[in-house]
């Protein structure tokens, strides 16, 4: 009988296939305590399972080639690092030796302790890292019970399947996709998880948080994953299948149409060239940016290097990461944003001040970097050294006044002199730009322009500060409005000032990748957009259908609107006219 379940959309699209249930992370363990004479044998048992899990990850990494190796390698490395984490290993040994727990029970207890720490985190990105713990412990547990690897092999050999599980490890996701997996349904999980990011870049429909999935779906049930509506339909009816076929036809047509735009220039109907850059956090974004014909990377969020691991990444590690991004972009410009920690992005290394009353108004972005000149200089040195492998630009987040840009420039000068003295090769010039995301920087943009080679407007933050509405607070969704006339005026002011100064200005907040806002941004004079690479073709498509001259003529009256409705009406009328 037809049954419909709902969940959150982690990756869009639709898929029809047979369900394959995998329950690796439901831990049933023997809780009877060990006798003293069993302890040492249990320790050996535990360490053999840890070794098997390490070996499995090592083999998985060896099997990945080309783009997949780059995209998934980072995740596998993160899991391998967890397996070598001294605190975790010490804790496990102690539970077996001192607490007389069996290996399985010790693993479960450690898992529960760590899960509680992640659950308590406010940042949704960090919170979702709790999934990694489950997946790593699940792998060790499977090795201990020697059962799940047989299950995985069974799954890996089949095509046409929808994976139904609690959460899926990124490495498994890559493995299964290579074997014909069509879609994923998670009973738990988060749209911020690495697996969700991967699913989006593999174009694999994925729903998470489908609460009853594991009880309502059986192996081999026919299921339709609807990543457009956020539904899973078990035993779909003829009507459901009809809808799926319509979607398939439309998706194929749309895909073919958009694919033709991948390497076309971005040009409006009246022939004005615009530039589309990609926002990137990891290597998969670089691959996607190249495939979709981005003009470069407009925002590389370097803090993700700092968030992914416990300690601070050193100069050498950063140099390699930045160099690889530059190599990946094959000479196109790459804009590396310096560390933007603070507010909702707390690092594990402890740079960020904990317990600030208003962290979004606290020591974040360049304010934090300038408090740690050694850490900051290591990053600047790494960027400068990487600069000889392509075209790199430095972007400074959370700038409030020109003095901060002057301070950064002086640190870059110093780093350059030191590197030259130490015999490093260096790029001849490197452009340094300011992010405009603080209202004071936007209003006083002329003085910031004097100290900047280019600007990037961060509307995610600028909107929250102009509108005094927390970007992460769902309850303020109505207030957090990119079409608010005050925000429009601020954007218009910044873009015009940069144009008058003859300096490039781009916009890299989420609205740059939303085709709905494209006409407004073009009207305000924006020529450079930076967005998630997955949005590039849709935005290029939208921009190619706009008339630049007509929209630019609208700018003076648009910034004089008093209400959001008036803004919308003006845009609608103008678009209907042409």
Identify the burial level of 35 via C-beta atoms within 10 angstroms of its C-beta, where 0-12 means exposed, 13-18 middle and 19 or more buried: exposed
Site for Mg ion in 391-450 (CB under 5 A): 437
If you ran DSSP here, which 8-state letter would residue 515 be given? G
Other C-beta atoms closer than 10 Å to the C-beta of 312 total 20
525 touches ligand PEP by CB under 6 A: no
Distance (Å) of CA 455 to CA 132, 401, 495, 552? 37, 13, 9, 20
Nearer to ligand PEP, 385 or 532 (CB): 532
Smallest gap, in angstroms, from Cβ of residue 281 to ligand PEP?
Answer: 9
Half-sphere exposure of residue 265: CA atoms within 13 angstroms, side-chain side: 7
Nearer to ligand PEP, 172 or 461 (CB): 461
Residue 172 in contact with ligand PEP, rule: CB under 6 A: no
CB of 139 to ligand PEP, least distance (A): 32
Least Å distance, CB 335 to Mg ion, is 14
Please report how close the Cβ of residue 397 comes to Mg ion at its closest, in angstroms: 6
131's tokens: 């999934």
Task: Work out what residue 227 binds among ligand PEP, Mg ion, none; the CB cut-off runs from 5 to 8 Å by kind.
Answer: none
Q: Tell whether residue 298 is a contact of Mg ion (CB under 5 A).
A: no
In the set 79, 484, 508, 561, the catalytic residue is 508
Catalytic residue among 194, 484, 532, 548: 194
**Site map (CB under 5 A) of Mg ion, residues 457-496, x = contact:** -x--x-----------------------------------
The count of chain residues that interact with ligand PEP, using the rule CB under 6 A, is 10
x/- string (CB under 6 A) for ligand PEP, residues 338-357?
A: --x-----------------
Q: Which of 286, 368, 347 is nearest to 322 (CA)?
A: 286
What phi and psi values does residue 453 have, to the nearest 5 degrees?
Answer: -90, -20
Task: Please report whether residue 459 would count as binding ligand PEP according to CB under 6 A.
Answer: yes
**Tokens 């998630």, residue?**
532
| Burial grade of 332 (CB within 10 A; 0-12, 13-18, 19 or more) | middle
Strands 222-226 and 231-234: antiparallel
DSSP 8-state symbol, 321: H
Binding flag, residue 281, Mg ion (CB under 5 A): no
- For residue 509, state whether it binds ligand PEP (rule: CB under 6 A): yes
Candidates 186, 209, 342, 458; binder of ligand PEP (CB under 6 A) is 458
Collapsed DSSP state (helix, strand, coil) of residue 336: strand
SS3 of residue 263 by DSSP: coil
Candidates 41, 51, 38, 40; CA nearest to 140 is: 51
User: Could you confirm whether 508 is annotated as catalytic?
Assistant: yes
DSSP one-letter code for 453: S
Residues engaged in binding ligand PEP (CB under 6 A) = 299, 301, 340, 437, 458-461, 508-509
Residues engaged in binding Mg ion (CB under 5 A) = 437, 458, 461
Catalytic residues: 194, 508
């Amino acid at each position: 009988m037809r049954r419909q379940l709902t969940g959150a959309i982690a990756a869009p699209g639709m898929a029809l296939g047979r369900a394959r249930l995998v329950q690796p992370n439901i831990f049933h363990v023997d809780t009877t305590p060990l006798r003293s004479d069993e302890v040492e044998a249990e320790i050996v048992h535990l360490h053999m399972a840890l070794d098997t899990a390490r070996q499995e990850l090592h083999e998985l990494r060896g099997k990945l080639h080309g783009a997949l190796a780059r995209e998934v390698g980072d995740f596998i490395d993160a899991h391998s690092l967890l397996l070598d984490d001294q605190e975790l290993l010490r804790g496990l040994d102690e539970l077996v030796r001192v607490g007389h727990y069996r290996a399985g029970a010790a693993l479960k207890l450690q898992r529960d302790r760590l899960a509680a720490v992640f659950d308590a985190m406010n940042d949704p990105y960090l919170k979702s890292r709790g999934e990694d713990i489950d997946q790593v412990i699940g792998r060790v547990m499977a090795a201990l019970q020697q059962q799940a690897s047989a299950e995985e092999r069974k799954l890996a050999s089949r095509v046409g399947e929808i994976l139904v599980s609690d959460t899926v490890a990124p490495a498994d996701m890559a493995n299964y996709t290579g074997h014909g997996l069509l879609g994923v349904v998670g009973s738990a999980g988060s749209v911020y998880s690495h697996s969700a990011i991967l699913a989006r870049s593999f174009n694999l429909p994925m729903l998470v948080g489908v609460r009853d999935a594991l009880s309502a779906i059986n192996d081999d049930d026919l299921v339709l994953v609807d990543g457009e509506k956020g539904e899973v339909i078990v035993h779909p009816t003829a009507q459901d299948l009809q809808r799926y076929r319509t979607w398939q036809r439309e998706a194929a047509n749309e895909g073919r149409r958009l694919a033709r735009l991948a390497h076309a220039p971005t040009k409006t109907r009246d022939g004005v060239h615009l530039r589309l850059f990609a926002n990137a956090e990891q290597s998969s974004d670089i691959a996607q940016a190249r495939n979709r014909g981005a003009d470069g990377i407009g925002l590389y969020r370097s803090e993700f290097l700092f968030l992914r691991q416990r300690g601070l990444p050193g100069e050498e590690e950063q140099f390699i990461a930045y160099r690889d991004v530059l190599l990946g972009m094959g000479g196109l410009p790459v804009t590396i944003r310096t560390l933007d920690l603070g507010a909702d992005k707390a690092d594990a290394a402890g740079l960020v001040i904990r317990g600030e009353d208003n962290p979004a108004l606290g020591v974040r972005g360049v304010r934090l970097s300038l408090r740690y000149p050694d850490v900051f200089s290591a990053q600047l040195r790494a960027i400068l050294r990487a600069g000889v492998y392509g075209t790199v630009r430095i972007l400074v987040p959370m700038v409030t006044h020109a003095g901060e840009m002057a301070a950064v420039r002086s640190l870059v000068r110093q780093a350059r002199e030191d590197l030259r003295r130490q015999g490093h090769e260096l790029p001849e010039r490197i452009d340094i730009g300011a992010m405009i995301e603080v209202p004071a920087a936007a209003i006083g943009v002329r003085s910031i322009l004097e100290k900047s080679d280019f600007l990037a407007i961060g509307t995610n933050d600028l909107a929250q500060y102009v509108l005094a509405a927390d970007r992460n607070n769902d309850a303020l969704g109505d207030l957090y409005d990119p079409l608010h006339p005050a925000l429009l005026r601020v954007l218009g002011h910044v873009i015009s000032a940069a144009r008058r100064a003859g300096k490039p200005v781009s916009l890299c907040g989420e609205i740059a990748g939303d085709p709905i806002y494209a006409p407004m941004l073009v009207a305000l004079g924006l020529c450079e957009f930076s967005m998630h690479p997955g949005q590039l073709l849709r935005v290029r498509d939208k921009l190619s259908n706009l008339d630049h001259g007509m929209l630019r003529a609208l700018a003076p009256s648009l910034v004089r609107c008093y209400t959001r409705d008036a803004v919308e009406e003006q845009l609608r009328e103008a678009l209907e006219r042409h």
